[in-house]
Amino acid sequence: MPSKEAPGPFNRVLEIDLSLKTFSMFVISDQLRRMYLGGKGLGLKLLYDRLKPGTDPLGEGNIIIIMTGVLAGTGAPCSGRFHGVFKSPLTGIIGSSSCGGSFGRQLKSNGWDGIILKGRSDKPVIVNIHNDKVEFCDASNLWGKDILNTQTAISQKNNEAIVTGPAGENLVRFANVAAGNRYLGRGGLGAVMGSKNLKAVTAAKGHYKVVPFFNDRFKDLKNRAKKYINRNDMSLLMRQLGTAANAGPIIKNNMLPVNNFTFGNHPKAFQITGEVIKENHDTKHHTCKPCSILCGHKGMFNGKKTNVPEYETLALLGSSLGIFDPDDISRFNEICNQKGLDTISAGGTLAWVMEASQKGLIETDLRFGSKKEIVAALNDIAHLKGFGREMAMGSRALSNKFGGENFAIHVKGLEMAGYDPRGAYGQGLGYAVANRGACHLSSFPVGFENLLGLLAPDTTRAKPEFVMFFENIYAAVNSMDICQFTGYGLTLETFLTRMTPHFVLRFLMQNLSGIALSLVDFSLYPKLFSAVSGINLSSREFLKAGQRIHILERFMNTNEGIRKKDDTLPEKLLLEPQKDDPKKRLVPLEPMLKKYYKLRKYDKDGIPKKRVLEKLGI
């Protein structure tokens, strides 16, 4: 049983030097907490203060920061999340990844709000954390083992771990990290761990307990948040179908990536919808704790019970490769999960290889719809076998070497998620300006354009305003650290929004965006933050903290050379309409980008102006 209680966050970060096998404590001030909240925001600030621009992402100088938010361990709905922040070997800029599961809460039970990992071990190592103790254990016998076998080998009662697999050890640029059966997926954190000879970090059950600073107030807010989530239509749909619930609307709007974003639909596309998967694969909840949405599911695939592939996996390892059988996609997903590969980047890379092979730029056996060849290619990537060594670098590096840059579907080196922006112009802008690359979650305008139908998808009107607003909100939400999916319930179920007719909301958002955005009530987030931390934070201050976090990340990227030329989309999406789109839509990026820069107060080359940095205290 926990024996030490503290009101609010512990404000202690464990700093570990893998080279020297030493550790120390870094104390988080109330000012830092107020400005950067926790999670991603605080992780970025700690990285900014320590990482030199130009550092080799796979060199000893790169730093990994694992950070929890103030809600971790409190039982707040959907608060079982933590963040990894690092310099990405895939993109060469700042990488970040959010993860569910139990590791963040377990770390918090040891009295730590986060971990800073620097240096490089001279041999494979596991770092074991228990309260105020840190052990460095030889992991040579585990090097080369896949993620499941590693997890089994190091498993102990009440232990949680983050683990890298063979892909990370072999420095595959899009290698991920597992936390149970959840993943720090994007940007190549697994490769950074591999470069440091770090096989795993474990956290035993600690004797610290998180107690909200204002506990009675917190309980009331927690119950209200659960009430909002439990009556929201989108939350309930995801509870029923998982993230595969997104497939139906995306297919309906001709936005499904098919054959490397060549088409937007397919006669077999219905097979990967959440409704069909639920009916055919006996799906049941298998989710993070504590969660009120329950979007995670398991089902029967290939004769065994396993994770239902997320929508992004269904799209990138499925339809974009010409595959529509969920059993096949599940098989690919399991390989990625065991070897430690990000499914989005793996799928995006394979799709480029298929089109490049089709066009004669390279010679491989990979073709759209080739199931056995996909299985072989994923294993080849993880183990750098044959052409897998080239594919392990990602689609940008492949296209730079062999040609075909126009159909390499990435932004800033990060492969694009499963929403074709030719059917949602705001999502196109969101991809282009997202700090970590082609990130659908940076602002997720497609949620309003297609899933909720509140913004007309094929117009530029109001898109820069909404992208910027939700970038700020999500930066703050990811720094609490609470699941972004709570946004449906915690903003759409508040009194004013709930009582306003859909057609009125749509009119306001489309034509009077300033008024519409001023009416968005996201106050439950800062209220939860304040109740737990004891730091009084208004909605305005919360939004400003999100702005600060987003601008800091942009500034860090411009220090790595990012400019306006990088805020773009693949030529295929700008110049070639989908072959099955009767409207022949293309993303009109430039006018949206110009307006967005003006709103953000970036200069003409996309660099935050000095007065903006000074105003935000960066």
The per-residue pLDDT for range 4-37, each reduced to its tens digit, is: 887 889 999 999 999 999 999 999 999 999 999 9
Per the confidence metrics, is the pTM higher than 0.85? yes
Residues 437 and 501 both lie in one domain: yes
Residue 430 lies in a domain: yes
Give the tokens for residue 429: 């802008």
Residue 600, domain CATH: 1.10.599.10
Q: What is the pLDDT of residues 91-150, one digit of tens each?
A: 999 999 999 989 999 999 999 999 999 999 999 999 999 999 999 999 999 999 999 999
Residues 260 and 296 both lie in one domain: yes
Contact criterion met (CB below 8 Å) for 62 and 192: yes
Residues 381 and 454 both lie in one domain: no
Residues 184 and 266 both lie in one domain: no
Across 162-189, average pLDDT: 97
Q: Residue 574 pLDDT > 90, yes or no?
A: yes
- Residue where a domain stops, chosen among 407, 439, 471: 407
Q: For all residues of the chain together, what is the average pLDDT?
A: 95
In one-letter notation, the amino acid at residue 528 is: L
pLDDT score for 467: 97
Long-range Cβ contact pairs of 136-144 (< 8 A, separation 24 or more): 136/18, 136/21, 139/197, 139/199, 139/200, 142/199, 142/200, 143/169, 143/199, 144/169
Q: Residue 293 pLDDT > 90, yes or no?
A: no
Q: Residue 1 pLDDT > 60, yes or no?
A: no
Residues 176 and 312 both lie in one domain: no
| 190/168 Cα distance (integer angstroms) | 4
* Residue among 557, 612, 611 nearest 51 (CA): 557
| Dihedral sign (CA 585, 591, 594, 595) | negative
Q: Residue 287 pLDDT > 90, yes or no?
A: no
Across 160-182, average pLDDT: 97
| Dihedral sign (CA 397, 403, 405, 407) | negative
Residue 217 lies in a domain: no
pLDDT score for 292: 87
Region of residue 75 (phi > 0: left; psi between -120 and 50: alpha; otherwise: beta): left
Between 167-171, 239-243, 313-317, 393-397, the lowest mean confidence (pLDDT) is in: 239-243
Residue 99, domain CATH: 3.60.9.10
Between 355-364, 471-480, 496-505, the lowest mean confidence (pLDDT) is in: 496-505
Band of the pLDDT at 2, cuts 50, 70, 90? low
pLDDT score for 585: 96
Residue 222 lies in a domain: no
Tally the domains of the chain: 3
Residues 427 and 517 both lie in one domain: yes
Residue 113: DSSP 8-state? S
Residue 218 lies in a domain: no
Residues 399 and 429 both lie in one domain: no
Band of the pLDDT at 570, cuts 50, 70, 90? very high
Percent of the chain with pLDDT over 90: 91
pLDDT score for 288: 78
Residue 591: DSSP 8-state? H
Across 294-314, average pLDDT: 93
Residues 430 and 395 both lie in one domain: no
Across 323-347, average pLDDT: 98
Q: Is 321 helix (H, G, I), strand (E, B) or coil?
A: helix
Residues 430 and 536 both lie in one domain: yes
> Residue 468: which domain range?
421-616
- Residue where a domain stops, chosen among 407, 437, 469: 407
Residue 125 lies in a domain: yes
Query: Residue 134 forms beta bridges with which residues?
Result: 129
Residues 196 and 330 both lie in one domain: no
Q: Residue 338 pLDDT > 60, yes or no?
A: yes
Q: Residue 3 pLDDT > 80, yes or no?
A: no
Helix (H) or strand (E) holding 284: strand 284-285
Is the bond preceding 290 in cis, omega lying within 30 degrees of 0? Answer: yes
Distances (CA, A) of 402 to 37, 359, 395, 398: 44, 12, 10, 6
Residue 230 lies in a domain: no
Residue 226 lies in a domain: no
Between 295-299, 522-526, 556-560, 584-588, the lowest mean confidence (pLDDT) is in: 295-299
pLDDT score for 500: 87
Per DSSP, the residues of 69-100 read -TTTTTT-TT---EEEEEE-TTTSSEEEEEE-
Across 225-244, average pLDDT: 94
Across 369-392, average pLDDT: 98
Residues 283 and 136 both lie in one domain: no
Percent of the chain with pLDDT over 70: 100
Residue 204 lies in a domain: yes
pLDDT score for 295: 87
Lookup result for tokens 């969101």: 430
| 338/323 Cα distance (integer angstroms) | 21
pLDDT score for 114: 97
Residues 45 and 167 both lie in one domain: yes
Q: Residue 158 pLDDT > 90, yes or no?
A: no
Across 282-288, average pLDDT: 85
